[in-house]
Structure 1
Amino acid sequence: MSQQKIQSDAAYTPVSGSPDEENGARKEPASERRRRYMKQVGLFLLTTMGHMNFGMGLSWPNTIASDIQKDNSTLLGTELDLSDWQLDMTSSLVFVGTLPGFLFGGWLVAKLGRRRSMMVVVLPCVVGWSFVAFAYNATMLLLGRFISGMAYALLVVAVRTYLSEVSDTAIRGAAILSAECMKSVGAILIVAIGMLGTWYQIAFFCIAEIIFFGLVVVPFMPESPTYLTVTGKEDEARQVLRRLRGSYFDLETEISQLKKQNERQDGSSGWGVLLKKDIMKKCLIVFGLFGISNFCGTEVIKANAVRILQTSGLSIDSDVSTIIVFVLLLGGNIFQALIVDRIGRKKCLVMSLALLVLAYTILGTYAFIETSAVEEGSDFVGWNWVPTACLMVCAFSSSLGIGPTPWMLAVEYFPTNIRSQVMSVCTFFGSLMSFASLQMYSPLQAALTPAGLYWSYSCFAVIGIIYTLTIVQDTTGQKVG
């Protein structure tokens, strides 16, 4: 696609990165730029506190699975008996809840704005966690998980859209990835707290955390300047841009660029623009990445890595092994945040997928040889470090690129006036793929054998490399409007 075509699509316009280079303002001293970036980083950390709750919610099933084996009593004194199917649903229902949540979130964030939407999320999130905390049977517990999924979908659309719009172009990738980092921090935190309290006590902690975020932190955050500009509130947008960009920034040029990037030649806007050829093409690119991400095992790793580590003969506590997996996921997120704005989204994707190809190929070969040895009655002891090492590489490399990047591009491919709506459609598809990959894990493993399943993940990763190199458009260093 030519540069002229990209600009006519009003999705993004290349710039070099710094305010003075983007807008022709006077030269900004390096010390001032560092100060400005640190101020933005502080805002990113505050904004992603909600994603910490998201991570807690995703990791929480590990805690209840461990607790009910020792004591299955509830807060109200009843006994909670969960079948294996119901335990699986405590994870899967969150993704089911995100499906309607994403579609509603696209409308809500466009209607109320990014900041108010983050405040509205508090209500369904508190309701969901309250159902969990006071659950006296499986139905009430699972209903709470479904409602929590709806809340998290609203949160994802609002937070990731906001991060892409308040950050400088030069650090936008790191800004969006900060949400993934905080999600991993929340997952680690909930397992650590789970060592000290019960599953329903943890639910109260999660309620307190989301209330603090939505009612104490968010009201003091500025609204997205790009949203204010597009909705005609230019005076407010100037004030926010001055706080975020500093005195060396050319406000009028920035506002003029934002208006231009959000004006389509065909005059279409809102949900109707999704049917336009250029927008549909970018949606299909993101859909493809979500499909590749899930069917090369990204979500399966998070949900089943602990079980695989334990069956491989790794003799450590289940809580410790869970923390190890999520620390590796966090490590991959942090490493990508450090390099993504330097080397680009496409290179991160290729690096991530190449590591997955290597790890899954070795893991599948190990599983095949081990199965053959067991059938022949041979001793296969002393090699259990192989699947352990491979799963750790998979956890790290999946979060290095193919895991978070589809979510990043779902935000960056589209301008402000349609960003929340189109992102909600893209992430709806992503959650659908996540649910499908998790539910198909056991049937595929039974049909293909563990070795065949791992090799199939490796094949999808190879397809992902080809797809990335030939189809994916890189947004690194480009202004997204």
Structure 2
Amino acid sequence: MAKTSKFRAYLAAMIVNITTLSLGVSIGWMSPTAPALQSDTPPFGTEPLSDQIISWLGSLQYAGGVAGVLFWGQITEKFGRKPAGYLLCIPLLIGWSSVLFAQNHVWLIVGRFIMGFSVIGALIIVPSYVSEISEDSYRGSLGSFIILFFNLGVVLAYFVGSILSVRNLTIFCASIPIVFLCFFYFLPESPVYLWSKGKKSKAQESLLWFRSGNNVLVEQELEILNSVMKSDKSVASIPVSRLYDKKGTIKAMINSLQLFTVQQFCGILMLLTYSSIIINKSEINFSFHTAAVIIGLVQLIASWITSLIIDRFNRRTLLILSNIGMSVTLFTIGLFFYSQKYYYETNFLPNWVPFICMCIHVIFYCLSAPMGYIITCETLVPEIRPLAFSVIVFWGTSMSFLSIKIYVFLVDNFYMQGNFWFFSLWCIFAVIYTIFFIPETRGKSLVEVLKTLNGEQNTKINKTYEYEACSSVIPIGDK
């Protein structure tokens, strides 16, 4: 019985993460497409696009995400996880259609913005739904699917872009939300959401489906859920002042904002968006399509391995190791381009150095990729978590936009090496900040972590409160 119930939850998590796949595909689309858009015969419109327009295409998706963060949080809470999932597909299809039928760069820019507005909803809907259908024993495993499917989407875009034309790649990307709708239709609404809205019989039916009719298990979960709901406050009743009313909360918020900022400025988005351009500039003697696919596959495998080992090592250890590794690889790529610019005839670094360093970089990135969400969950009390994540995701998405848009400015003013050294410095800053300010949360309850942040002595932990506090990692609208 337990195996069957686990299977249904895993299946549902994979289905709902098709939206995360769409997010990865939309980001990966830029890499194989950018060179074609700058060619003499672009696939959309009649004129090749400049570097500035390409940077807008890469960054405006994140600007759309900034606009969509609060919208999807409200939709998910007011109407449910399933209606939000259905609604998410409408602007996504409109965005891809705008790109597919683009007559000039304006259509492309509008399409990318609308896509960003849509796919950011995946980072809100998916964690909520997955967390609320999972049992404690495998909630972390299902939660890691969001990174796996995102990376899978990036790899798919790279791979399909290497064998199909840009127009056919766009059609492929546009078909993914349709596939999602076909499968998502058969899944029940989140039992936690139904229970929170007073629909207790429907919540029980939903939970029975996910637990394959295991009435004993369902009764136990509903009893705990009822206790949690009674002790919780609604998101609407939580004032913004709760985010800075205590010393520990202020520290947790500052740490979370720092983690999400560095995650955007560690160079990963720049590498994924402009990988084909970077490979071309390195003058390596094999196809940039092949190089991009290999980089994407390395990241996919690394993220899968990370999901297996993440609970075996301290959070701080992984953060420090990850940022040191990323800083070294980015510095080395910058050194290559410095040598290429000033010592072209006697370049002491071979052309394959940027490609190898990019592969190593994504491996180190995967070690810390989930840490923003994990540490934020492990340092914030549940009643303020939805509001806090609204602020944090809004901030993180804004930083994503800046990290992509700044690429052209850095290359134009400080050349390729300056661009990579800029992001390398951010990683060094992350190492220093982690050493002095990020608390270790692995194996500790939320109560213990909060006492540490508040400078209090730890006492024996109440297990019921511990369950309520740490049972889920939900960015927005989780109650």
TM-score (norm 2): 0.81
CA distance in 2, matches of 1:117, 1:415: 25
In structure 2, the residue matched to 1:23 is: none
CA distance in 1, matches of 2:330, 2:373: 23
What amino acid is the match of 1:433? Answer: M
In structure 1, the residue matched to 2:137 is: 170
Is structure 2 residue 315 aligned with structure 1 residue 315? no
Q: What are the within-5 Å matches in structure 2 for residues 46-445 of structure 1?
A: 46-68=15-37, 69=39, 71-72=41-42, 74=44, 79-214=46-181, 216-245=182-211, 247=214, 250-262=217-229, 269-270=235-236, 272-276=238-242, 277=245, 282-343=252-313, 345-366=315-336, 373-374=343-344, 379-380=346-347, 383-401=350-368, 403-409=369-375, 421-445=387-411
Q: Unaligned regions of 5+ residues in structure 1, if any?
A: 1-31
CA distance in 2, matches of 1:200, 1:385: 30
In structure 1, the residue matched to 2:423 is: 457
- Following superposition, the deviation at residue 111 of structure 1 comes to 0.7
Is 2:31–2:275's contact at 8 Å kept on the other side of the alignment? no
CA distance in 1, matches of 2:64, 2:166: 20
What amino acid is the match of 2:110? Answer: L
CA distance in 2, matches of 1:35, 1:438: 44
CA distance in 1, matches of 2:135, 2:110: 40
Alpha-carbon displacement from aligned partner over 1:78-133 (angstroms, at most 9, x marks no partner):
62542222122221111110011011011111111112211111111111111111
- Following superposition, the deviation at residue 367 of structure 1 comes to 5.1
CA distance in 2, matches of 1:351, 1:262: 39
Q: Which moved more, 1:253-262 or 1:114-123?
A: 253-262
Is 1:413–1:480's contact at 8 Å kept on the other side of the alignment? no
Over 3 Å counting, the alpha-carbon distance change for 1:413 and 1:150 in structure 2 is: farther
Is 1:164–1:411's contact at 8 Å kept on the other side of the alignment? no
Over 3 Å counting, the alpha-carbon distance change for 1:304 and 1:464 in structure 2 is: same
- Following superposition, the deviation at residue 203 of structure 1 comes to 2.9
Alpha-carbon displacement from aligned partner over 1:267-300 (angstroms, at most 9, x marks no partner):
5632734430366654433211011112222212
CA distance in 1, matches of 2:377, 2:92: 23
CA distance in 2, matches of 1:350, 1:209: 36
Is 2:194–2:202's contact at 8 Å kept on the other side of the alignment? yes
CA distance in 2, matches of 1:192, 1:103: 33
Over 3 Å counting, the alpha-carbon distance change for 1:51 and 1:234 in structure 2 is: same
CA distance in 1, matches of 2:432, 2:203: 41
- Following superposition, the deviation at residue 415 of structure 1 comes to 7.3
- Following superposition, the deviation at residue 394 of structure 1 comes to 0.7
Over 3 Å counting, the alpha-carbon distance change for 1:382 and 1:105 in structure 2 is: closer
CA distance in 2, matches of 1:72, 1:452: 30
Alpha-carbon displacement from aligned partner over 1:225-269 (angstroms, at most 9, x marks no partner):
22223232333333333443463864444334334445668x563
CA distance in 2, matches of 1:141, 1:373: 39
SS state of the match for residue 367, structure 2? coil
CA distance in 1, matches of 2:367, 2:30: 24
Is 1:106–1:422's contact at 8 Å kept on the other side of the alignment? no
Is 2:69–2:121's contact at 8 Å kept on the other side of the alignment? yes
Over 3 Å counting, the alpha-carbon distance change for 1:143 and 1:356 in structure 2 is: same
Is 1:353–1:465's contact at 8 Å kept on the other side of the alignment? yes
Is 1:124–1:151's contact at 8 Å kept on the other side of the alignment? yes
Over 3 Å counting, the alpha-carbon distance change for 1:200 and 1:368 in structure 2 is: closer
What amino acid is the match of 2:471? Answer: V
CA distance in 1, matches of 2:195, 2:156: 38
Q: Unaligned regions of 5+ residues in structure 2, if any?
A: 446-469, 473-479
CA distance in 1, matches of 2:443, 2:189: 24
In structure 2, the residue matched to 1:39 is: 8
Alpha-carbon displacement from aligned partner over 1:49-94 (angstroms, at most 9, x marks no partner):
12222222112223432334263354xxx62542222122221111
What amino acid is the match of 2:389? Answer: M
Is 2:60–2:109's contact at 8 Å kept on the other side of the alignment? yes
What amino acid is the match of 1:170? Answer: S
SS state of the match for residue 232, structure 1? coil
Alpha-carbon displacement from aligned partner over 1:107-160 (angstroms, at most 9, x marks no partner):
111111112211111111111111111111221221111111111112221112
What amino acid is the match of 2:297? Answer: V
Over 3 Å counting, the alpha-carbon distance change for 1:462 and 1:252 in structure 2 is: farther
Percent identity over paired residues: 24
SS state of the match for residue 121, structure 1? helix
TM-score (norm 1): 0.80
Is 1:166–1:225's contact at 8 Å kept on the other side of the alignment? yes
SS state of the match for residue 72, structure 1? coil
Q: Which moved more, 1:255-264 or 1:37-46?
A: 255-264
Is 1:301–1:394's contact at 8 Å kept on the other side of the alignment? no
CA RMSD of aligned residues (A): 3.2
Is 1:357–1:458's contact at 8 Å kept on the other side of the alignment? yes
SS state of the match for residue 222, structure 1? coil
CA distance in 1, matches of 2:161, 2:301: 22
Over 3 Å counting, the alpha-carbon distance change for 1:186 and 1:405 in structure 2 is: same
CA distance in 2, matches of 1:280, 1:114: 30
- Following superposition, the deviation at residue 218 of structure 1 comes to 1.3
Over 3 Å counting, the alpha-carbon distance change for 1:418 and 1:239 in structure 2 is: farther
Is 1:46–1:217's contact at 8 Å kept on the other side of the alignment? yes
CA distance in 2, matches of 1:102, 1:131: 22
CA distance in 2, matches of 1:84, 1:362: 24
Is 2:5–2:211's contact at 8 Å kept on the other side of the alignment? yes
Over 3 Å counting, the alpha-carbon distance change for 1:163 and 1:352 in structure 2 is: farther
Alpha-carbon displacement from aligned partner over 1:136-191 (angstroms, at most 9, x marks no partner):
12212211111111111122211122122222333333322212221222222233
Is 2:238–2:383's contact at 8 Å kept on the other side of the alignment? no
In structure 2, the residue matched to 1:15 is: none
Over 3 Å counting, the alpha-carbon distance change for 1:137 and 1:308 in structure 2 is: closer
Over 3 Å counting, the alpha-carbon distance change for 1:198 and 1:370 in structure 2 is: closer
What amino acid is the match of 2:125? Answer: A
Over 3 Å counting, the alpha-carbon distance change for 1:454 and 1:289 in structure 2 is: same
